[in-house]
Amino acid sequence: MRHILVTLPELNDAHRQKLREAGASCEMRFMEAKDVSSADIASADIILGNVPPALLGAPEGLEFFQLGSSGADAYVAGGVLNPRTVLATSTGAYSQTVAEHALAATLMLLKKMHLYRDAQARHEWTDFGTVGTLDGAVVLVVGLGEIGSYYARLARALGAYVIGVKRRSSAKPDCVDELYLTDELDGVLDRADVVMSVLPGSAATAHFYTAERFRAMKQSCIFINVGRGNAVASDVLEAALRGGEIAAAAVDVFETEPLPADSPLWGLENLLVTPHASGFYHLPATVGRVVDICARNLQAYLSGGEIINVVDFKTGYKK
């Protein structure tokens, strides 16, 4: 009998029952991720949820590892997992919550609501003048996966002209007006009124947004990052904002998290900081979506069916 370790947070009885039914032929144990030990991992044939990567040590007996997150970058590093382990993510479960967060941040900056909130805290009656709109704006979505596509649909619904950028060639989806590959990005950066980045964490995307790329953007451009923090170095972002190379930014992910209290980014009036809060389970519906993916993939793995969101260890991306 296979042993399954479940570390997904915030499960209710219905969620647990769905997982038990998917793994009916197995022994299933539920634990909090923070309480998991190396011994617990060593005894598991299957893990549903995330565990501290440092505890893994490439376990020989781990057959299938279904993450509760959409990102897998911490688990594809050498020595963390055995290459024979099938690794899958919960990509798709977080699309709504992250995309809506990014849209809210976009509108907040366009309408200068962050400045009005700051003025309110100072008890100041101040008019900040001209604002922007998504109606007729050019929105560049860098990373056109599940989240990027969801955001693209929302932006188009508000009248934006959307340009998508993705890693692999494909037919243009209906959610964008134009589609380019990643190596064509520099040819369209200067057209964007909004750059929304949802790049995954990988060696290829580390410090992707260079000083040169920020200089290529319009000075009126708004930059949104809800992907991975290592896509832009903090000092490069700070320089772009202080130097007026872009108008404003909303960032949910940083190279160092939590963002250090002494980081100069905190003091930038044209930067909206959120503490990696766009995803997780802040939207209650998300946990149900994660459970659905985990149950589906568990059942598929046990029956020899098709598993979705399988990760390529070489690239860190979904196969």
Amino acid in the structure at residue 206 = A
Q: Residue 115: phi, psi to the nearest 5?
A: -70, -40
Per annotation, catalytic residue among 10, 212, 257, 269: 257
Per annotation, catalytic residue among 15, 167, 228, 296: 228
Per annotation, catalytic residue among 3, 16, 156, 276: 276
Q: Are strands 271-273 and 86-88 parallel, antiparallel or unpaired?
A: unpaired
Cα 241 to Cα 201, 223, 235, distances in angstroms: 23, 10, 10
Contact between residue 310 and residue 87 where contact means Cβ atoms under 8 Å apart: yes
Q: Are strands 194-197 and 64-66 parallel, antiparallel or unpaired?
A: unpaired
Active site includes 257?
A: yes
Residue in the structure block whose two tokens are 């299938």: 64
Active site includes 276?
A: yes
Active site includes 213?
A: no
Q: Residue 179: phi, psi to the nearest 5?
A: -135, 135
CA–CA distance, 313 with 301 (Å, rounded to integer): 18
Q: Residue 16: phi, psi to the nearest 5?
A: -65, -40
Which residues form the catalytic set?
A: 228, 257, 276
